[in-house]
Chains A and B, each alone.
Chain A
Amino acid sequence: MSLVGTLLAHADDNMVLAQRLGEWISKAPELEIDIALANIGLDHLGVARALYTRAAELEGAGRTEDDFAMLRDEREFTNLLLVEQPNGDFAHTIVRQFLFDAYQLLLWEDLAANAEDETLKGVAAKAIKEARYHHRFSSGWMIRLGDGTEESHRRVQAALDQLWRFTDEMFEDGSTAGYRAEWERGVIEVVAEASLEMPTDPYQRTGGRKGLHTEHLGRLLAEMQWLARSHPGATW
Chain B
Amino acid sequence: MTPEERFQALIDAEEKIEPTDWMPEGYRSTLIRQIAQHAHSEVIGMQPEGNWITRAPSLHRKAILMAKVQDEAGHGLYLYSAAETLGVRRDELQELLHQGKHKYSSIFNYPTLSWADIGTIGWLVDGAAITNQVMLTRCSYGPYARAMVRICKEESFHQRQGYEIMMRLCEGTPEQKAMAQDALNRWWWPSLMMFGPHDTDSTHTEQSMEWKIKRVSNDELRQQFVDMTVPQAEYLGLTIPDPELRWNPERGHYDFGEIDWDEFWRVVKGFGPMNRDRLAHKVNAWEEGAWVREAAAAHAAKKAARAA
Contact = CB atoms under 8 A, between A and B. Distances in A.
B268 interface: no
Centre residue among B63, B165, B176, B290 by max chain A CB count within 10 A: B63
Contacts of A45: 59, 62-63, 66
Given A25-B50, A25-B70, A29-B289, 5 more contacts: A23-B54, A39-B70, A46-B63, A224-B55, A231-B175
A169 to B, nearest CB: 24
Interface string A113-139: 000000000000000000000000000
Given A26-B46, A26-B47, A236 B63 contact: no
Interface stretch (B123-131, B211-219, B293-301): B293-301
B43 A90 contact: no
26 contacts: A22-B54, A25-B66, A26-B69, A27-B285, A28-B289, A29-B288, A30-B292, A33-B292, A38-B66, A41-B66, A48-B59, A49-B63, A70-B57, A90-B289, A143-B299, A145-B292, A147-B299, A148-B296, A152-B291, A152-B294, A155-B291, A224-B54, A233-B173, A234-B173, A236-B115, A236-B169
B47 A149 contact: no
A144 interface: yes
Contacts of A97: none
Contacts of B169: 236
A50 B289 CA distance: 34
Given A25-B50, A236-B168, A42 B70 contact: yes
B58 A148 contact: no
Given A145-B295, A152-B295, A236 B59 contact: no
B73 A31 contact: yes
A200 interface: no
A228 B58 contact: yes
Given A144-B299, A227-B57, A227-B115, A35 B176 contact: no
B59 A234 contact: no
Nearest to B76: A31
A111 to B, nearest CB: 21
Contact of A236 (B47, B58, B294, B296): B58
B62 A22 contact: yes
A66 B291 contact: no
Interface string B69-100: 11001101100100000000000000000000
A34 interface: yes
Given A25-B46, A31-B77, A231 B173 contact: yes
Given A26-B47, A148-B296, A149-B295, A227 B55 contact: yes
A201 interface: no
Interface of B: 43, 46-47, 50, 53-63, 66-67, 69-70, 73-74, 76-77, 80, 115, 165, 168-169, 172-173, 175-176, 281-282, 285-286, 288-296, 298-299, 302
Contacts of A42: 63, 66-67, 70
Dominant secondary structure of chain A at its interface with chain B = helix
A138 to B, nearest CB: 13
Given A34-B73, A35-B70, A42-B67, A236 B299 contact: no
B70 A69 contact: no
Given A19-B54, A22-B62, A147 B302 contact: yes
Contacts of A41: 66
Contacts of B168: 235-236
